[in-house]
Amino acid sequence: MKRLSGFSIWLLFACSLIMASCSGSGGSEEEFELGAPIAKQATDITSSGFTANWSRVYKAESYLLDVATDIDFTTFLSGYKSKAVSNLNEEITNLDGNVSYYYRVRAVSGSIVSDNSNLIELTTSFEPDPDQTLKNSSDNFLIGVALQSSKLNGNYDEIYKREFSSLTSEYEMKMNVMHPSQDSYDFGPADAIVDYAQENGINVHGHSLIWHNSTPDWVTNFQGSDQEFEDMIEGYITTVVTRYKGKVTSWDVVNEAFEDGSGNLRNSIYRQRMGDDYIAKCYQFVRAADPDVLLFYNDYSMVSDQTKQNAVFSMVDDFIARDIPIDGLGFQLHIQYDYPAKADIEAAVQKVVDRDLLMHFSELDIRVNPNNDLTSLSQDRSLAQKAKYKEMVEILKSIPEENAYALTVWGLVDNESWLINFHGQQDWPLLFDSNFEKKDAYYGFLEGLQ
């Protein structure tokens, strides 16, 4: 008997292992489990299309792509219900601009089809008509901007007249500027702003008659009795409101009267000298001076500070019960690109609507560098800011038209924003850059108006 060589023995052993493996699989090719693809973010997004992308799946021969116009995939894009695709991406064209689309994908191997991938949502970009502006795109509410009397010419003038239907004085219609001493008024800056608006057919929102931070020293140190103090405040309000009667459509009568966190009334000189009901008295003074002007209460952190929000709405409810005149609320909304959440803003706004008051987003700016981690405005952060501006416009646009008063951006160009000095760091919170060029934020605002 001939002996097998060592190599022959090894070869027989290897073959036997292979045969055992093949015969012992216990099933057919049809039974293996095909993994689902991972859908990736869309790329090349334009106003008329995008590219859908997904990961490769082991043993997949092709893929089935679904594209829909609703998140539940009940309305499919024509030709994109289980469309067979051999690549790992698909260019989708002939779409509408500023519309949300959704896609998902499955892997195919023979007769085996995987589960659906995750869902991807995207919105095609918006290409405005060159003649479109913010103000001519809004039929629901006024589009406002805060400004200074020294900046009513050049690029400022061009943009104000082109883009905005309402103006708010940043600080020159406050008491310390208009009434600097007990025996004098200075209406020069305020008159310049009001006259400019009148000449150009632009609305004026008055800001603000009573604010603890704009109180002149002579008021803080007023030597008369409490009744004389109250008479003095009534005289000041009457003088200012009467001067601009028929020219200023609305006033922030009292600004920021409640403390942060506690919701208590600030212990301002007005409260000390006129009592806890000083706010109601001021609103009555304004109404007596101008029966037609709209009266607003204005404050910050009206979304994030629940205690303050509760205090403000308690005051409003008390005014309504006592027939104290008030027409609307101003939410300052000095917010961030990632905060607060849309649902929280909507909930606060709904409380205004429930009371049948006017809603003014009165001092909107959106910080993109709250953690001071940027030295220049990045593309990602710019797009996040764009989305937040669009969101804010859409929130105001979604409420009943009779409740939507205005959306006022607090400043025109980034480098002049009050936030830079206030926080001591760089930021880019507005619609126009330092060269007066439109930013992504501008187009997000414009998209929200469509």
Percent over 70 (pLDDT), the chain: 93
Calculate mean pLDDT across residues 215-244.
98
pLDDT of residue 5: 53
Contact 312, 343 (CB under 8 A): no
Query: What's the average model confidence in pLDDT over 374-391?
Result: 95
- Mean of the pLDDT values across residues 396-412? 98
What does the pLDDT read at residue 21? 46
Distance, in Å, from the CA atom of 158 to the CA atom of 154, rounded to the nearest integer, reads 6
* pLDDT level of residue 73 (50, 70, 90 thresholds): very high
Per-residue DSSP letter, 161 = H
Residue tagged active-site, from 256, 394, 402, 447: 256
pLDDT reading at 115 higher than 70? yes
The yes-or-no answer on residue 363 being catalytic is yes
Mean pLDDT of 34-59: 95
Q: Is the pLDDT of residue 15 over 70?
A: no
Whether 129 has a pLDDT exceeding 90, the answer reads no
pLDDT at 29: 46
Q: Write down the residue that tokens 């892997």 correspond to.
A: 107
Q: Tokens 């030709």 correspond to what residue?
A: 79
**Whether pLDDT at 255 is above 50:** yes
* Residue appearing with tokens 């006259």: 195
Q: Is 80 exceeded by the pLDDT of residue 4?
A: no
* pLDDT score for 192: 98
User: For residue 242, which of 183, 308, 211, 286 has the smallest C-alpha distance?
Assistant: 286
Query: Residues 36-47: what's their mean pLDDT?
Result: 93
Q: 31-40, 299-308, 418-427: which range is least confident on average? A: 31-40
HSE on the CB side for 161, CA within 13 Å?
Answer: 13
pLDDT digits (tens, 9 = 90+) for 436-446: 999 999 999 99
Query: Which is the catalytic residue, given 90, 230, 363, 447?
Result: 363
Per-residue pLDDT at 25 exceeds 90? no
Give me the sheet containing 39-43, strands edge to edge: 39-43, 50-54, 89-92
Question: Span 113-124, mean pLDDT?
Answer: 95
CA–CA gap between residue 316 and residue 313 (Å, rounded): 5
Q: How many helices (H) and strands (E) in the chain? A: 13, 17
Q: In sequence order, which residues have a C-beta less than 8 Å from that of residue 268 and are 6 or more positions away? A: 212, 215, 257
Mean pLDDT of 50-69: 97
Kindly list the structural domains of the chain, giving each domain's residue range(s) and its CATH number in brackets, ordered by start: 33-123 (2.60.40.10), 135-449 (3.20.20.80)
Query: Can you tell me the distance from the alpha carbon of 289 to that of 77, in angstroms, rounded to the nearest whole number?
Result: 60
Question: Mean pLDDT across the stretch 213-233?
Answer: 98
21-30, 116-125, 398-407: least confident range: 21-30
Average of per-residue pLDDT values in the chain: 93
Instruction: Find, among 257, 163, 164, 162, the residue nearest to 208 by Cα.
Output: 257
Global pTM value: 0.79
pLDDT exceeds 60 at position 71: yes
Catalytic annotation on 33?
Answer: no
pLDDT tens track for 345-381: 999 999 999 999 999 999 999 999 999 999 999 999 9
Specify the range with the lowest mean pLDDT, choosing from 18-22, 234-238, 400-404: 18-22
CA distance 323 to 69: 48
**pLDDT confidence of residue 333:** 98
